Structures are given as structure tokens and as C-alpha cells.
């Protein structure tokens, strides 16, 4: 008897769920953000391509990973807020460079606002999953907190082991927090109802390396004042 009641209840629940999921979201569309790592005008090639900074450093880039979180869109007739969402962008993983925002109100948008890095909440909430899972290698074990940006490579300017440079930029405690807010103009980007709009965001590392001198600055592994300065350098790489 109980079995039959359960069956009926589950069937109804299932139907109800299906009803909700198939119902189209009126007036909503999808925004696909594509992050494009570059060095100057050209797409970034890891390891094989030598680049030259405005400061005279010749360098190879071997790794680029960073977090993007809390993406917001603002326009006259629409607004969109992504809450508690963290995206790990990895230049080695092409899939990671696409961030898809669903159920964005169909409207024209003037600005995109996003965090580069993770907010303090993510840093004090214990074990988290998905892109924040500690298996991602973006977490400091000895001094709790996420590494918000990792850039590694080599340059003859660096008097280090194998001429390597390693920038692990992180830290959430004031006054040296390393999360940065970026505001990008969207030029009335249109999100179409039931459509997919693509938006390309350039990540130009030349704008980072033009701000540092690799002979002097080539290792960053701990939170602090220097990390906060490096975060200020990195935030400039984003443009539409």
C-alpha cells in the first residue's frame, strides 16, 4: 500500500519537475563569455613562443591560471548578478575559457563587472567544490587561502633556478587582499531572447609584463603588500 502511495507521489513529483524544466524562460537569453589569452596583438602560445616586454625582458610563458567570480551585467532595462560563482580560467584548458551565463534578461547592456580572484567568503568557508576544489592546485595549504592568479614561465632576465619566474598571487586578509574588481564597457551588448550572445574578453599579458622588471621581480609565493601590488598589475590585462 505504502509502495503504491510512494509511486504516485514520485510520479507526480517527476511530472512537476519536468513541467518546470521544460517551461521556457520568457525574456531570457544566454551570454557566452570567451576569455582570450594574448600577448600584445597575438593569441598567447604557451611555452613555445618568445615574447618581449616593453621593459626589455624576453620571456616564455608556461602557465596562466586565474579565477573570475561574481560576474554582473548592467544596462538601462536589465541587470544580471551571478552569485557565489567562481570560474577557474586555465590557458591550457580551452573549455575553461568559456563562461556561459544562462537566464540573462534579454536587454541591452552597458557594462560588465567582475571580480578577478576569489572573495573573502570563499577563502574562509572550508572545503568547497567545483572550480574551488583544492585538487585544482590553487590553494595554499600552510597559510589558508586561494591563489587568485598563477603565472609561470622563464626568462634570461631571471637569476633563478632554470631562469624561472613564478607569480602566485593571493591573500584575502585586509589590507593586502588580492581580489580585484574590473569594469568593462559593453557598448550596448544585446542579449536576445532564447539566443546565445558571444562576448570576447581579451587577457593581454603584455600589459602585466610591461609593468614589471623580471630581473627584480620574479618570485611571488605569499600574501602581503607585494602580492597586492602584483594584483594591481594583473588587473590591467582585461579588455573587450
Partner 1 sequence: MFLSKINIAAALCGLFFILLSFTGADYDIQFVVPESWPKPVYDLSKNPITDAGFQLGRQLFYDPLLSRDTTISCASCHLQATGFAHVDHKLSHGIYGKIGTRNAPVIMNMAWSRYFMLDGGVNHLDMQPLAPITNPLEMDETMERVVEKLNASPKYRRLFQSAFADSVATGQKTLLALSQFILMLNSYNSKYDKYLRKEPGAEFTEQEQRGLAIFRQHCAACHTEPLFTNGEFANNGLPPDSALMDLGRMRITRDPADSLKFKVPTLRNIQFTSPYMHDGRFKKLLEVVNHYTDGVQHNATLDARLQTPIVLSHEQKIDLVAFLFTLTDRDFLFDTRFGFPNQ
Binding site for partner 1 (CB under 8 A): 2, 5-6, 8-10, 12-13, 123-129, 132-137, 139, 141-145, 224
> How far does Cα 35 stand from its chain's mean position?
9
* Cβ partners under 8 Å of residue 40, min gap 6: 51, 204, 206
Looking at beta carbons only, is 68 or 138 nearer to partner 1?
Answer: 138
Q: Minimum CB separation from partner 1 for residue 119, in Å?
A: 14
Nearest distance from C-beta of residue 155 to partner 1, angstroms: 26
Least spacing, CB of residue 217 vs partner 1, in Å: 18
Report in angstroms how near the CB of residue 25 gets to partner 1 at its nearest.
26
| For partner 1, the closer CB: 20 or 142 | 142
In this complex, which beta carbon is closest to partner 1, that of residue 132 or of residue 199?
132
Q: How far apart are CA 177 and CA 228, in angstroms?
A: 6
Nearer to partner 1, 124 or 196 (CB): 124
Nearer to partner 1, 124 or 183 (CB): 124
Q: Are 116 and 235 in contact (CB under 8 A)?
A: yes
CB of 173 to partner 1, least distance (A): 9
Whether residue 175 is preceded by a cis peptide bond, meaning omega within 30 degrees of 0, is: yes
Among residues 200 and 225, whose Cβ is nearest to partner 1?
Answer: 225
Distance CA 24, CA 31 (A): 16
The nearest distance, CB 107 to partner 1, in angstroms, is 36
**Grid cell digits, residue 159:** 637569476
**Cell 520568457, residue located:** 26
**Beta strand spans in 106-158 (E):** 108-116, 139-140, 145-155
How buried is 3 (Cβ within 10 angstroms: 0-12 exposed, 13-18 middle, 19+ buried)? exposed
Amino acid at each position: 500500500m505504502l509502495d503504491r502511495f510512494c509511486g504516485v507521489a514520485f510520479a507526480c513529483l517527476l511530472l512537476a519537475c519536468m513541467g518546470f524544466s521544460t517551461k521556457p524562460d520568457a525574456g531570457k537569453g544566454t551570454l557566452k563569455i570567451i576569455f582570450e589569452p594574448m600577448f600584445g596583438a597575438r593569441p598567447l602560445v604557451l611555452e613555445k613562443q618568445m615574447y618581449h616586454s616593453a621593459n626589455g625582458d624576453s620571456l616564455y610563458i608556461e602557465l596562466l591560471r586565474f579565477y573570475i567570480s561574481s560576474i554582473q551585467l548592467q544596462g538601462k532595462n536589465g541587470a544580471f548578478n551571478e552569485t557565489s560563482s567562481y570560474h577557474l580560467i586555465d590557458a591550457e584548458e580551452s573549455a575553461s575559457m568559456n563562461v556561459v551565463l544562462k537566464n540573462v534578461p534579454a536587454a541591452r547592456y552597458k557594462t560588465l563587472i567582475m571580480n578577478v580572484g576569489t572573495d573573502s567568503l570563499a577563502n574562509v568557508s572550508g572545503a568547497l567544490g567545483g572550480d574551488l576544489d583544492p585538487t585544482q592546485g590553487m590553494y595554499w595549504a600552510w597559510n589558508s587561502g586561494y591563489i587568485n592568479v598563477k603565472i609561470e614561465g622563464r626568462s634570461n632576465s631571471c637569476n633563478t633556478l632554470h631562469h624561472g619566474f613564478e607569480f602566485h598571487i593571493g591573500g584575502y586578509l585586509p589590507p593586502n587582499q588580492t581580489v580585484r574588481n574590473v569594469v568593462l564597457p559593453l557598448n550596448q551588448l544585446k542579449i536576445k531572447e532564447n539566443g546565445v550572445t558571444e562576448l570576447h574578453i581579451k587577457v593581454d599579458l603584455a600589459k602585466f609584463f610591461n609593468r614589471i622588471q623580471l630581473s627584480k621581480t620574479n618570485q611571488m609565493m605569499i600574501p602581503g603588500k607585494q602580492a597586492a601590488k602584483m594584483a594591481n598589475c594583473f588587473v590591467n590585462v582585461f579588455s573587450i
